[in-house]
A and B are shown apart, each in its own frame.
Chain A
């Protein structure tokens, strides 16, 4: 087989492949969007709940060892709530991180 024949076959194959590919890239994006939306929802909710749980846990231990019940629980529950909100905003990519030149600005919104 010489080069011209080979080029000809390659061109035909390219055409055949192009006709098989989806015309509209948007339609594929839609399917991907819903799958990663599902992942996003799970991620955000668990981030928020984890913040509150850890805050409450620290508050409970604080009270238990220092005998300040119920103030430690109250204060750390509120701090945990704030940390949960911070977690959610951060994983949603809503917080502009001060750049130090290496981090990509949108490094937190992978999915």
Chain B
């Protein structure tokens, strides 16, 4: 189906692997995850290999991405937060490169599958909970009890705070997944309009100009969204890590 807007998200097995009844096949999704890591790693390695004191263009892109994430983390979680820099920087680069790779025609978008984004979000929340309990012990639970709440209301407020905390990985993963999915479907649908309108002769071709303009505009928007979502993911990661570092509400 050339015009099926969902077809681009289908998972196909490239190398079927099954271990102990578990399906561990190497799929097109796995392939693009490997490609994402390879691209990000190769880019950062090659651009910083020569390490000029006056950076070349490519080197300054690498340095800018470093500074960008470092400042974001320092603003949100203070200098103590810098111990999480490797995690936040890897997440940012992975999401950004995966989103941008997805913009190539016929490429698979890794982040348009909720299980991938949910795994990333759970990695963040797992780090927050594990580090919070390791560093603060049971005082970490103080995160759920705001100061100055009347005794009667405490159970209610704690329940609301716990639900609010549990909703974080969901909102983190759903936001990234929904943006990428919706963007790619919209692009495909508008691009499909161009083809189907153009088959109606001269009038159709004239009409097909409108969805074509729309497709070009949406492609620009999608590049913006690809960057913006990587940024939002990283910013929220920093804010949640701040809760692990300073749990007192």
Chain A nearest CB, measured from B117 CB (Å) = 12
Chain A residues 27 to 58 lying within 8 A of chain B, measured CB to CB, are 35, 38-39, 42-43, 46-47, 49-51, 53-55, 58
Query: In the bound complex, how far is the Cα of B167 from the Cα of A49, in angstroms?
Result: 9
Chain A nearest CB, measured from B216 CB (Å) = 18
Whether, in the assembled complex, A10 has its beta carbon less than 8 Å from a beta carbon of chain B, the answer is: no
Chain A, Cβ-Cβ closest to B170: A50
Q: Count A/B pairs, Cβ under 8 Å.
A: 85
A104: B residues at CB distance < 8 A: 75
Chain B residues 195 to 249 lying within 8 A of chain A, measured CB to CB, are 224, 228, 231-232, 235, 239, 242, 246, 248-249
Q: Is B175's CB under 8 angstroms from A84's CB?
A: no
Chain A nearest CB, measured from B218 CB (Å) = 13
B178: A residues at CB distance < 8 A: 46
Residue among B72, B78, B170, B246 facing the most chain A CB atoms (10 A cut-off): B170
Query: In the bound complex, how far is the Cα of B171 from the Cα of A55, in angstroms?
Result: 13
Q: Is B166's CB under 8 angstroms from A100's CB?
A: no
Q: Is B224's CB under 8 angstroms from A107's CB?
A: no
The one of A35, A38, A47, A80 in contact with B171, judged by C-beta atoms closer than 8 angstroms, is A47
A50: B residues at CB distance < 8 A: 167-168, 170-171, 174
Chain B residues 155 to 189 lying within 8 A of chain A, measured CB to CB, are 156, 159-161, 163-164, 166-168, 170-171, 174-175, 178-179
Chain B nearest CB, measured from A15 CB (Å) = 23
Task: Digitize A84-98: 1 where CB-to-B-CB distance is under 8 Å, 0 elsewhere.
Answer: 101100100000011
Q: Is B235's CB under 8 angstroms from A110's CB?
A: yes
Q: A47-B167, A100-B246 are in contact. Are A110 and B228 (CB under 8 A)?
A: no
Count of interface residues, chain B, beta-carbon cutoff 8 Å = 32
A90: B residues at CB distance < 8 A: 164
The one of A58, A86, A87, A102 in contact with B246, judged by C-beta atoms closer than 8 angstroms, is A102
Whether, in the assembled complex, A74 has its beta carbon less than 8 Å from a beta carbon of chain B, the answer is: no
Chain A, Cβ-Cβ closest to B245: A102
Q: Is A35's CB under 8 angstroms from B163's CB?
A: no
Whether, in the assembled complex, B146 has its beta carbon less than 8 Å from a beta carbon of chain A, the answer is: yes
Chain A, Cβ-Cβ closest to B76: A107
Whether, in the assembled complex, B148 has its beta carbon less than 8 Å from a beta carbon of chain A, the answer is: yes
Chain A, Cβ-Cβ closest to B148: A98
The one of A39, A54, A55, A80 in contact with B228, judged by C-beta atoms closer than 8 angstroms, is A39
Chain A nearest CB, measured from B113 CB (Å) = 17
Query: In the bound complex, how far is the Cα of B173 from the Cα of A47, in angstroms?
Result: 11
Chain A nearest CB, measured from B198 CB (Å) = 31
Query: In the bound complex, how far is the Cα of B164 from the Cα of A80, in angstroms?
Result: 8
Q: Is A38's CB under 8 angstroms from B228's CB?
A: yes
Chain B nearest CB, measured from A102 CB (Å) = 6
Task: Digitize A50-77: 1 where CB-to-B-CB distance is under 8 Å, 0 elsewhere.
Answer: 1101110010000000000000000010
Q: Is A49's CB under 8 angstroms from B228's CB?
A: no
Chain A, Cβ-Cβ closest to B166: A54
Q: Is A110's CB under 8 angstroms from B76's CB?
A: yes
Q: A47-B167, A83-B164 are in contact. Are A107 and B239 (CB under 8 A)?
A: yes
Query: In the bound complex, how far is the Cα of B161 from the Cα of A86, in angstroms?
Result: 8
Known: A58-B163, A76-B163, A98-B148. 6 other contacts (CB 8 A): A39-B228, A42-B232, A50-B168, A100-B248, A107-B239, A111-B231
